[in-house]
Structure 1
Amino acid sequence: MSNAPRKAFKEAILEYSKELRLPMIRKHLDEQVRESTQQDASYEAFLAQLLEKECDARREASRHNRIRLAEFTHKKYLEDLVIADLPDDAQKKLKQLKTLEFIQEGRNIILAGNPGTGKTHVSIGLGLKACLEGYKVWFTTVPLLINRIKECRAEQTLRAFQNRFEKYDLVIADEMGYISFDKEGSELLFTHLSLRAGRKSTIITTNLSFERWGEIFQDPVMTAAMIDRLTHQSYIVNMNGNSYRMKETKEWLQQQQLA
């Protein structure tokens, strides 16, 4: 085939791929033509390899977009954890939790223990892994969640928020119990977490034992109902132990002294 028809076909491919929004085809067309010519590849192989690059790029963009929309405060991956420094119960259960089967089953995780033991790191790590595997995730703190609900109600957008909140495959509600809230806040939190109970997964991190959740909700009946709904068929992880964060701080200080 002469150069003129080849050039016309190339221009047509570039134009079609632009109209169809296939940027990787435009980017890799010349490279793939050269490789296929050298390998004497079939037309089917040439097209498959070109489309594979487009699909790979879209999958990667989707992963980044899911992580962005999850609104993580930090990117704390499970691979960054020093497993031996986690509390014993977390070490035993993390292997199972990393399979993400709890999301498929709609089961919750309660990470309860004293500050600095890795609760937030574990929860974000599981959330990031879920994003990479195609799940829709949202991260928030409990105080921010209550404020968001109140704002949506004031702006008359509460129904739209509830619809989004119900559909997330995983919601991570961090810092339950660090800040107390009023009766209205307790009722709003109870109502919204109940929307997901038994259907979608929620991870709760808390520094309070269940016996002290009454300090959060200030209503014994609501407290009992909340504990019952959140813990039903859930993974309860005892995160009491030595401070993971304090150990990292001490190691950093030692490195500074040696520098």
Structure 2
Amino acid sequence: MEKLQLYIEVHQLKKQGFKVAAISYLEFIEEILSFELKRREEKNREKRLKKAKFPYYKTLDEFNISEQHSLSTRQIEQLKKLNWLDQQYNLILLGPPGVGKTHIAIGLGLEAVHIGYKVSFNTMGELINILKTQEYLRKSQLQLKAIKEADLVIIDYLMYMAMDQREANLFFHLINDLYERSSIILTSNKGPEQWGELMGDMGITTAILDRLLHRVEVIHLNGESYRIKNRSTIF
């Protein structure tokens, strides 16, 4: 089986223009190893991308910075370096619908996947459903395990709707598990000062904020909704 695999790899190398006979044995082995490493990394990258479960594929290069005056090109480039991810910093992206919060979150997630980080993307509604059903659904247990193992956890549409006390308590325990182990990106149209009203329990809210805001960068986005501004018409 190994000989067959080696033959296939040699054949592929020949197709790519490598002149096997013209190089030394060691150089040939180096080319084989390099080819194998690149192939494995590509497969691993594809697996990480699939596990991240992004709702769509949008890079930071596709983000129209000219329409978002509250964020500069320099800041975007700084975020792309992902130094904050190594330090378990969190990002909170605030602003009205349609200003690019989710696009930026996905773009950063794609950058992280590309260089080897494990990423998990969920909307707040999906996350609450996972937390509420993980006691009896195997699928939810596996999803929660993947979230807790991720280097970067993205939670979209945070606080778009109120939580009951059980949901708030489950969310706190997740944030506590992720604290200082993973970085979190949150997108929301409501600032942290409003979260207490939606959770209905100031004690839990304070405990969540204490962990989220320990190391955090809060980015306020504004402007007209990109979706409304660029909406299609039937006429």
TM-score under structure 2 length normalisation: 0.89
| SS in structure 1 at match of 2:219 | strand
Is the CA contact 2:121–2:154 (under 8 Å) kept in the aligned structure 1?
Answer: yes
Is the CA contact 1:32–1:46 (under 8 Å) kept in the aligned structure 2?
Answer: no
Q: Which residue of 2 aligns with 1:128?
A: 110
TM-score under structure 1 length normalisation: 0.81
Question: Aligned partners of 2:193 and 2:2: how far apart in 1?
Answer: 64
Is the CA contact 2:94–2:188 (under 8 Å) kept in the aligned structure 1?
Answer: yes
* Structure with larger Rg: 1
Q: Deviations over 1:161-190 (max 9, x none)?
A: 655433210000000122222111111011
Matched, 1:25 2:9: yes
Question: Aligned partners of 1:23 and 1:184: how far apart in 2?
Answer: 58
| SS in structure 2 at match of 1:110 | strand
Question: Aligned partners of 1:119 and 1:182: how far apart in 2?
Answer: 26
Q: Which residue of 2 aligns with 1:181?
A: 163
Q: Which amino acid aligns with 2:229?
A: K
Percent of aligned positions that are identical: 33
1:157–1:32 CA distance, 2 compared to 1 (3 A) = closer
Q: Which residue of 1 aligns with 2:40?
A: 58
Q: Which residue of 1 aligns with 2:66?
A: 84
Q: Gaps spanning 5+ residues in structure 1: where? A: 1-14
Q: Gaps spanning 5+ residues in structure 2: where? A: none
What RMSD in Å do the two structures reach over aligned CA positions? 2.5
Correspondence list, 1:238-249, <5 A? 238-249=220-231
| SS in structure 1 at match of 2:31 | helix
Q: Which amino acid aligns with 1:228?
A: D
Q: 1:118 aligns with which of 91, 94, 100?
A: 100
- Compare the two structures and name the one with the higher helix fraction: 1
Q: Which amino acid aligns with 1:104?
A: D
Is the CA contact 1:108–1:235 (under 8 Å) kept in the aligned structure 2?
Answer: yes
1:170–1:220 CA distance, 2 compared to 1 (3 A) = same
Q: Deviations over 1:44-89 (max 9, x none)?
A: 1112112222221111111111100111111111111111112414
Q: Which residue of 1 aligns with 2:210?
A: 228
Correspondence list, 1:133-152, <5 A? 133-152=115-134
Q: Which residue of 1 aligns with 2:154?
A: 172
1:34–1:163 CA distance, 2 compared to 1 (3 A) = closer
